[in-house]
Amino acid sequence: MEGFYSAVSLVVVVPLIGMLINLFFGKKLGEKGAGFIAVSASAFAFVVALILWATLVDQHYEPAIVNAPLIHSWISIPSAGIDIPWQFRVDTLSVTMMLVVTGVGTLIHIYATGYMHGDERFPRFFVYLNLFLVFMLILVTGNNLLVMFVGWEGVGLCSFLLIGFWFDKPGKHPTEGTVGWANSNAARKAFIVNRIGDFGLLMGIFLTFWTFGTLDYYKPHEVIHLEHDEAPPPVFAVEGAEGEHAGEEAAHVESGSEIHGIFTQAELWFEEGNHKVTFGSIDLDFDAVITLITLFFLLGATGKSAQIPLFVWLPDAMAGPTPVSALIHAATMVTAGIYMMVRSNSFFYNSDLTSFVVTIIGISTALAAGFMALGQWDIKKVLAYSTVSQLGFMVAAVGLGAYAAAMFHLVTHAFFKALLFLGSGSVIHAMEHGHHHAHEHGHDEHGDEHDEHAEHETHEEHETHTHHDDHEFDPQDMRNMGGLRHKMGLTYLTYLVGGLALAGIFPFAGFWSKDEIIADAFTVGFDEGELKGYLAIAVLLAAAAMTAFYTWRQICLVFFGKPRTAAAEHAPESSALMTTPLAILAIGTFLIGFIINAPKGFPLFGWLFGEHRFTLFLEESVIHAHAGSFNWFMAILATGIALAMIGIADSIYRKPMPIPMEKDPLETGQYQPLFALSNAKLYWDEAYFKYIVYPFQGAARFLANTIDWDFWHNFFHDRIIGQGFQGAADVISQPIDRQVVDKGFMSLATGVLAAGSRLRKTQTGYVRTYALSLMMGALLVIVIILLPTLRDLLGI
Amino acid sequence: MFSTPTFDELNIWAALPMMALAFGTCILLVADLFIPKDKKVYTAVLAGIGLGVSLLIALLQASGVEIGDKSTAFEGIFVVDQFTHVVNVISLMAGIIGIMVSYDYLERTGTERGEFYTLILFSTLGAMLMGSSRNLVMIFIALELLSIPLYILSGFRRPMLESEESAMKYFLLGAFSSGFLVYGIALIYGATGSFELVNVWQTAVDILEGEGAGQFTLLIGIAMVLIALGFKVGAVPFHMWQPDVYQGAPTPVTAFMSVTAKTGGFAAMLRVLVTGLAVVSASQGKAIDVWQDSVQVIAVLTLILGNFVAITQTDLKRMLAYSSIAHGGYILIAIAAGGTFGVGDSSAQAALVYLMAYTFTNIGAFAVVIALERNERNTITLNDTKGLAQHSPLLAAAMTIFMLSLTGVPLTAGFIGKFFVFKAALEANLEVLAVIGVLGSVVSAYYYLRIIVNMYMIEGDAHPVADKQPLALRSALWLTAMGTLILGILPYIMTDLARDVTLAIVGR
């Protein structure tokens, strides 16, 4: 089965082919054809990922490195000693990512064929979607940082293209002109904010290259089971054969130590201690360099995975079509930062400072974003902030050294957040249809003066906090919903599953993974006595409480109660193309937590499905991954808090809301300031504008207007140089130029012309002249060749 | 007295690309007799197949497939190494594209004779043999095999006077330079007692380290060989034939000749100078400068004259002729670098990469001229390119690619070639030469970009040239344009081929 490893190229190539077909023939293929091509490309990639997984299992999780066809030596400058091959790495970590990306990706592709139905740029949407898959898979399959960076930038590009997909959407936007303009602004914001993160990642990559002389994670035939002191204790008996295998290979690494990949080399240098890295005249401790590298990596991760301070782009990114939000901005791309940090766990594990910073960033993001989600009206905004918050959980897990828990939460989150986003898409879709329906049939009870122009097949989506007296009907505003439980049964059920998973209720997926992170925090805090552990427990529990609250608030506002608008009254259930993926994801969300990673010591489930299987799987490629212990106390505490918050939210939002609904129940009472703070997102964007963007623009304006234009151009160039030159030129031109130079040049020109015509005369066309010139040339060469010898002979 | 070598000793299989082409050409010569005059397309196709088969074998060999078990054939006269393979690939590509651009032209000008293709094939074979000979006599024979068909081809558009005149000039001057070659070979033989380059190299060390009469003989012999090969590649001051011949010869012949003659000439030059005469002092471990200075002087002259005179040309073909002289100058830079101890191999690699890039680009540029000539008079002036982008956007785009590549703009093959040439020069500590080379390409930008300006930015009164070209010409344009781009973007296609080229005997 070993040969199947090379199929990994297909995982990238097939979506690429799908993309190309739709790019060139998409229009001709039409909606059905283009959708079919895109979905099959994605599904095929999923099948390949499955094959790779089976191969890994068959090969005892032996990782493989596969050379990319054609572009293997894409950057290779032998003379400069630079060789960065394009290799794929198949190991348990990359296969996990592949399965998530292609599996969830395929479902979302199917959903999107329903959701985007009727869009004028339907094929282009799928071109972008497939292109996204290509880059995302490049990101996770690459065997070195630069290949990963190609994917990293590529998914950023696709994200940009897809956020701004409806860049020409008509309709008024309260603050930014038209909706289309707001959409493209959101796209730009995402791109620019990500550049900051990319800068960090690039710096990290440069430093890595300087330090190690290579960017490869691991070299071929290198094994990652290094024997070192901090190796996780073999709590879980590994089969004998495998254990021997690992030992044998560790010996192999030690004996045949030539060039290692960066991670093995880092481990070796850490073990060896006092390795120095030279930067010009400065020698730095290897530990310090790694801290620097990981901090840069962290900056990259805060951009792509939307953490403080760079998370501000993700909520705006909801301007994109909902399948995009589900695929890119919830399930896959935003987890790239997590993947990158888990991939380089050898670096992060060994840097205490960075780990601490990572934890702080993670938990503060989890808390802040959780708080912001409490006061949002837009159904997708709530989910967006929730995503930021959940990513914070994962980042915190990385900081706590719980790499397996981070990856586990990544996988479960991909399921339930994709489910929630797709569910919200289904709701939005239904609201739009309901709105049209109500409008067409004159059921318009509110007498809204709807803008006719905004009413065609494209979806109305714009970020807005407008109130009902606005001209636009906002199908994403939860105040307009209510009572959808009876209209869209399947969507409601699946949404409920997703919501409970998000809130961390047993036995849904979120429970297991969130609990594992919190339990790990407990271990780090109480067992190892580290500050970050205590902080993490407190903050993450608070964030989890908020999660439960806003989740239930959302479910109440959307599905319970009575319909609050005509649109909600007439909302139909979405088509099977959209609900089928919902159902599949819901089943996955229900099962995946305990099936793949039931914790040790948990009654029944562990016995039924095997304990910590996912962690064991991951340990084969993530050196510092370890299984957390199940902590009854924390589990019950967390679940209790979540249930309590659900209860509180239920008591507030379950009662009938006023029609039309304008204010949140919390907005009237004593909590009004808090709600306002949350609704305004802690004034985070405003602060950025006030303290960074505006000063920056001011400085730019100053440089442009005052320095460049007033001083440099007007004063220095025009006045000093220009006028001075003019004056000098007047002097020079009249007496000097006319009299002396002109005449001189005229005679020179005559000379050149004469020479030219003489030169041209050499090209006479007569063979004899040519032969003569050949002779002269021959003489010249002979003289030059003989010159040294003649000199020797004559003794000059 | 003579023992006949056995088939096995000859190791014919190692020379399979050449043997295949030689047999194919002979068969074609006969077959053509049976092909009626209005069906000459079959001859063209057959010739293409012959070249294609040979190219296939050469590519296999170049990518490491061993055919025949020894590194030499015909008792050492003939070497089979990576250099041979790469030269084969270049020559055969040039031959194939040459035929593609020819067919329609011949049909249109009524010079559709079957011998044309046979001659192209023979000439290609000559170029291939020049790259694979390690024996001075063999080099001479190969040179004649390359040149004589070219003389005939230049005059192929009989009874057009310009064509005949160019053939005559080319032949006379060519014969003159052949004389130099024979004389030089004789002198080298006289001094060293051998035609074999390896032996020449060994003996030359002794001769040049000691004092003696052999020294003058050897040095003058080297000079003579250098002159003869310099003539073949059109280096200044032996370039005089080139503008006249390029202008007068049928355009497809010019296209073919501008590449093949250079490939053969430079291949032989590299073999002789870098393998045979890179005379390395055994005791001091460094090269005794024998020919580096002269090649440098020639290179500088070539660069300056080629580039500057090209500016003043108004005839497109003639401009390309001077441009082609200038490009010879860049390759001469690489060869000059080979005179420094330890740089021999990278100089050969640089020259080959440059030739590969140049092959696609230059034939492509001439193919555009051929396309333009379809509707124009025989001579295409620079004014005829004005406004081309409007009525023939594709043709203009292709021409733009070629011009950018000839200038050496990144993302085109030309850039990669120049990069390696200058790199070799810097490795050899010939900074001045590299600087002159760079300045030369700056100057060249003037006349190359002028064409782009003409095509895109100046309203033309030109007669519309349909973008619709005949199939063969169209494919040749696509092939060369795409080749120029792809080799520029994925340069490792070329560098991988050239990487294993080794010529220098010591000092790697």
Worst-scoring range by mean pLDDT, A427-431, A441-445, B129-133?
A: A441-445
Q: Does A80 touch chain B (CB under 8 A)?
A: no
pLDDT higher than threshold 80 for residue A257:
no
| B274-323 pLDDT per residue, tens | 888 877 665 566 666 788 889 999 999 999 888 888 887 888 988 999 89
Which element (helix H / strand E) includes B72? strand B72-73
- Indicate the pLDDT class of residue A311, thresholds 50, 70 and 90: very high
Q: Using an 8 Å Cβ cutoff, are A378 and A478 in contact?
A: yes
pLDDT higher than threshold 90 for residue A623:
no
Residue B375: what pLDDT? 64
Mean pLDDT of A416-445: 83
Worst-scoring range by mean pLDDT, A117-126, A743-752, B158-167, B440-449?
A: A743-752
> Cβ contact (<8 Å) for B220 and A78?
no
Residue B282: what pLDDT? 56
> How far, in whole angstroms, is CA B490 from its chain's centroid?
22
φ/ψ of residue B196, rounded to 5: -75, 130
Q: Chain A residue with minimal CA distance to B232?
A: A774
Q: What is the least distance, in Å, from the CA of A10 to any CA of chain B?
A: 21
φ/ψ of residue B382, rounded to 5: -60, -30
The span from the CA of A248 to the CA of A238, in Å, is 15
Mean pLDDT of B182-202: 88
> Cβ contact (<8 Å) for B231 and A774?
yes
The span from the CA of A592 to the CA of A586, in Å, is 10
Residue B161: what pLDDT? 86
Q: Chain B residue with minimal CA distance to A78?
A: B499
Find which of B152-161, B238-247, B477-486 is predicted with most confidence, using mean pLDDT. B477-486
Q: Using an 8 Å Cβ cutoff, are A67 and A75 in contact?
A: no
| A700-715 pLDDT per residue, tens | 898 888 888 888 888 8
> Cβ contact (<8 Å) for B216 and A73?
no
> Cβ contact (<8 Å) for B294 and A785?
yes
| A584-610 pLDDT per residue, tens | 999 999 998 888 888 877 777 877 888
Higher pLDDT: A33 or B283? It is A33
> Which amino acid does the sequence have at B490?
L
Question: Closest partner residue to B169 among A767, A782, A786, by Cβ?
Answer: A767
- What's the ipTM? 0.83
Residue A603: what pLDDT? 78
Which element (helix H / strand E) includes A65? strand A64-67
Higher pLDDT: A240 or A145? It is A145
Residue A790: what pLDDT? 77
pLDDT higher than threshold 70 for residue A579:
yes
Q: Using an 8 Å Cβ cutoff, are A90 and A8 in contact?
A: yes
Q: Using an 8 Å Cβ cutoff, are B416 and B359 in contact?
A: no
Q: What is the least distance, in Å, from the CA of A769 to any CA of chain B?
A: 9
Mean pLDDT of A57-63: 87
pLDDT higher than threshold 50 for residue A284:
yes
pLDDT higher than threshold 70 for residue B426:
yes
The span from the CA of B293 to the CA of B295, in Å, is 5
Q: Where are the domains of chain A?
A: 405-440+475-679
Which element (helix H / strand E) includes A172? strand A172-173
Residue A713: what pLDDT? 83
DSSP state of B418: H
Using N-to-C axis directions, what is the helix angle for B492-499 and B471-489, rounded to 10°? 80
The span from the CA of B427 to the CA of A455, in Å, is 69
Residue A598: what pLDDT? 84
| B256-266 pLDDT per residue, tens | 999 999 999 99
| A525-564 pLDDT per residue, tens | 888 888 999 999 999 999 999 999 999 999 999 999 888 8
φ/ψ of residue B11, rounded to 5: 55, 50
Residue A244: what pLDDT? 40
Residue A251: what pLDDT? 36
Mean pLDDT (chain A) is 84
> Cβ contact (<8 Å) for A777 and B177?
no
- ∠ at Cα A412 (A407, A416), nearest 5°? 145
**Residues facing residue B381 across a β-bridge:** B315
pLDDT higher than threshold 60 for residue A237:
no
> Cβ contact (<8 Å) for A778 and B224?
yes
Instruction: Provide, rounded to the nearest whole percent, the portion of chain A with pLDDT above 70.
Output: 87
Question: Closest partner residue to B223 among A73, A765, A782, by Cβ?
Answer: A782
Q: Using an 8 Å Cβ cutoff, are A115 and A429 in contact?
A: yes
> Cβ contact (<8 Å) for B290 and A785?
yes
Residue B139: what pLDDT? 93
Mean pLDDT of A343-351: 93
The span from the CA of A318 to the CA of A385, in Å, is 10
The span from the CA of A503 to the CA of A647, in Å, is 12
pLDDT higher than threshold 80 for residue A457:
no
From the CB of residue B178, how many other CB atoms can be counted at a distance below 10 Å?
Answer: 18
Question: Closest partner residue to B240 among A71, A73, A770, by Cβ?
Answer: A770
> Cβ contact (<8 Å) for A774 and B240?
yes
Using N-to-C axis directions, what is the helix angle for B251-270 and B136-154, rounded to 10°? 170
φ/ψ of residue A277, rounded to 5: -120, 130
Q: What is the least distance, in Å, from the CA of B9 to any CA of chain A?
A: 38
**pTM beyond 0.80:** no
pLDDT higher than threshold 80 for residue A443:
no
- Indicate the pLDDT class of residue A788, thresholds 50, 70 and 90: confident
Question: Closest partner residue to A786 among B176, B219, B237, by Cβ?
Answer: B219
Tokens of B154: 């230049």
Mean pLDDT of B398-412: 93
Residue A708: what pLDDT? 86
Mean pLDDT of A344-358: 93
| Burial class of residue A212 in the structure, from the number of CB atoms within 10 Å of its CB (0-12 exposed, 13-18 middle, 19+ buried) | buried
Tokens of A796: 């000059």
Beta-carbon pairs below 8 A across chains A and B: 81
| A354-399 pLDDT per residue, tens | 999 999 999 999 999 999 999 999 999 999 999 999 999 999 999 9
Q: Considering only residues 407 to 466 of chain B, which have any Cβ-Cβ distance to chain A shorter than 8 Å?
A: 423
**Residues facing residue A378 across a β-bridge:** A477
pLDDT higher than threshold 80 for residue A279:
yes
The span from the CA of A284 to the CA of A279, in Å, is 7
Q: Which residue has the tokens 């997703």?
A: A498
